[in-house]
Amino acid sequence: MGLFSAVARGSIYGPYLLMLSYTGNPKSKERTALVGKGITFDSGGYNLKPTGHMETMRCDMAGAAAVLYTMKSIAQLGIRKNVTAYLPVCENMISSRAYKPGDVFKAFDGTTVEILSTDAEGRLVMADTIAYAVHRHKPSRIIEASTLTGACVTTFGELYAALLTNNEDLRTLLENASAKTGERIWSLPLDKDYSIGLDSDIADIRNINPERTGGTIAGGLFLERFAKETPFAHLDIAGTAWLSKERGVNPKNATGFGVRLLTEAISCL
């Protein structure tokens, strides 16, 4: 996992990939993979986050937390579905060993990635994890949740998470779950034309579009590449996972966004 280990190597704490499996219906061959981003602190690396954006970066593990507690909810409710969760956990820090802009690393599936920004670390960690999930369990579908892009916050503020998917059944499933739970999502196009900005001269792909346009869509397209042919849905929860003030039933700071949404979606498969 060259991408995952690259992100983690600037920290004194090693990376961990946690995997939890729940089999609610042993007779079924269907299995859903849930993947949650677990960056326990994100400094931005050498593309350092500015003051005002780094202080709350302990929230960058909100995707992993949501997936973890979705698994707990599924088990407690006895939902008759089969689910495996993958939680990549590490820090993105600066040190003499930290990865740098301009580096190239090889992913779990052999894809080479040029690093244009060390602050686009989440998609690197998630890409290796998604590729591993496909290899390990060949899941029927992958649903992934991550605080991935500042562009999502710019677009939706703290009210909606972005949904990007290559599968209409997954889109309908998650939109229906959103309507029922009140955890609001809005669909963005996973249009391949946006991926041109990720083309690299020295690797298979770059980790960001240097023009910094369509950032949320580019992040979703980067991740989808590693899902291969598996139906895939990406939830960018960057704005909804951590609030600047109390909003309705959600407190200031951490909200647990995604637990109700994902639990409802799994139960309705």
Residue 95: its pLDDT value, please?
97
137: left (phi over 0), alpha (psi -120 to 50) or beta: alpha
Residue 214: its pLDDT value, please?
95
Residues annotated as part of the active site: 49, 123
Cβ atoms 252, 245 nearer than 8 A = yes
CATH homologous superfamily of 2-267 equals: Zn peptidases (3.40.630.10)
Two tokens, residue 205: 């792909």
CA distance 200 to 18: 31
Beta strands in the chain (DSSP E): 16-23, 32-36, 38-42, 82-92, 104-106, 112-114, 141-146, 161-165, 185-187, 205-206, 232-236, 242-243, 253-254
**Helical residues (DSSP H) of 40-116, grouped into ranges:** 62-77
40 burial level (CB within 10 Å; 0-12, 13-18, 19+): middle
Residue 108: its pLDDT value, please?
98
Rounded to two decimals, what is the model's pTM?
A: 0.97
What amino acid is encoded at 59 in this protein?
C
Cβ atoms 86, 75 nearer than 8 A = no
Q: How many CA atoms lie within 13 A of 34 on its CB side?
A: 29
Residues 6+ apart with CB under 8 A from 88: 4, 15, 16, 17, 18, 35, 37, 38, 64, 125, 126, 128, 129
Domain boundaries, given as residue ranges, for the chain:
2-267
Cβ atoms 111, 207 nearer than 8 A = no
Q: How many CA atoms lie within 13 A of 188 on its CB side?
A: 23
pLDDT in tens, the chain (269 residues): 999 999 999 999 999 999 999 999 999 999 999 999 999 999 999 999 999 889 999 999 999 999 999 999 999 999 999 999 999 999 999 999 999 999 999 999 999 999 999 999 999 999 999 999 999 999 999 999 999 999 999 999 999 999 999 999 999 999 999 999 999 999 999 999 999 999 999 999 999 999 989 999 999 999 999 999 999 999 999 999 999 999 999 999 999 999 999 999 999 99
Cβ atoms 62, 254 nearer than 8 A = yes
